[in-house]
Structure 1
């Protein structure tokens, strides 16, 4: 799968916001970022967002102080116009940790940002099934040339069982995705 080259430093306004979080961190913390921020920052798709959705923090105990420090309504939110949002409802694919990509490597002292690969990021959006999530999936497919066999495999496996039960695969037709936005398989 073709992968974009991630930027070395965060673009405004995210840079100052993330540096403030890094400065406040008492220990090393890794954030698994999803949503519009991940789509924009790593994959280079331009979609406005006012938050950084995280689905995991390592250590897990960091999630609580992160939301107090940088969540909605905090001083950092008011100062930078951004906030951290813990997206507990996100349904991440099985064993996604093996496919996480580092964003802004070396840009921070204690903070480490990790982004799912494009297929995992797309599958994480299926449980919400909003118009913007569907648009993000199509943009990810166009920007990264999904490996359609990997998409089918992950969607058929335990990763998407919850989405299939909820009926939120919204008729994801691989042939439409392939013909419209992705490289065709041989």
Structure 2
């Protein structure tokens, strides 16, 4: 579904970042950038949320070059945001998709749509819900896989004071995404 390269200013931003790196760096990406640039939802985002950087020691260099307050952010008004702490399905790495293979050092890997949706579960603001509804309505996610992945790869590892929050939020999402399909519940 993604184009050969991201739209501007992302293409120029990532091209300059690529030139500033001395070795290949893998970026496991989530958030609005992936929803819009990889999966085609027409919405803007000013950050590229990065879940994992490999090799790990490249993270500080990436943020210095392209993070919030960096010269590249000042030039292009977009930036990398290293998330660091997030809830995500346990086996997401097995389903990553390389997207925009146009650079030699910047290697962007997008989470598979179900995995991407589940990373939005904890915050679940209006934009997150819109993203998930978009993924459902375009057929990029389905109810059964979303529920299964939540129950088997996310819920067992969730920590925090409100473990039922995620299950309740997912139930609300299911109603919004598939109002005419009772499907498997939670």
Band of TM-score, shorter chain:
0.7 to 0.9
Which aligned pairs between 1:54-133 and structure 2 lie closer than 5 A? 54-105=50-101, 107-133=102-128
Q: CA RMSD in A?
A: 2.0
Provide the C-alpha distance between the structure 1 equivalents of 2:58 and 2:20, rounded to a whole number of angstroms.
Answer: 11
Provide the C-alpha distance between the structure 2 equivalents of 1:37 and 1:171, rounded to a whole number of angstroms.
Answer: 23
Contact 1:101 1:115 in 2 (8 A): yes
Provide the C-alpha distance between the structure 2 equivalents of 1:71 and 1:115, rounded to a whole number of angstroms.
Answer: 19
Unaligned runs of 5+ in 2: none
Which residue is 1:136 aligned to?
A: 131
Which of the numbers 146, 165, 168 marks the counterpart of 1:167?
A: 165
Provide the C-alpha distance between the structure 1 equivalents of 2:131 and 2:155, rounded to a whole number of angstroms.
Answer: 18
Provide the C-alpha distance between the structure 2 equivalents of 1:36 and 1:138, rounded to a whole number of angstroms.
Answer: 13
**2:30 paired with 1:34:** yes
Contact 1:129 1:168 in 2 (8 A): no
* Per-residue CA distance 1:14-59 (angstroms, 9 max, x = gap): 0000001110111111101111101001000012111111000111
TM-score in terms of structure 2 length: 0.87
Count residues with an aligned counterpart: 178
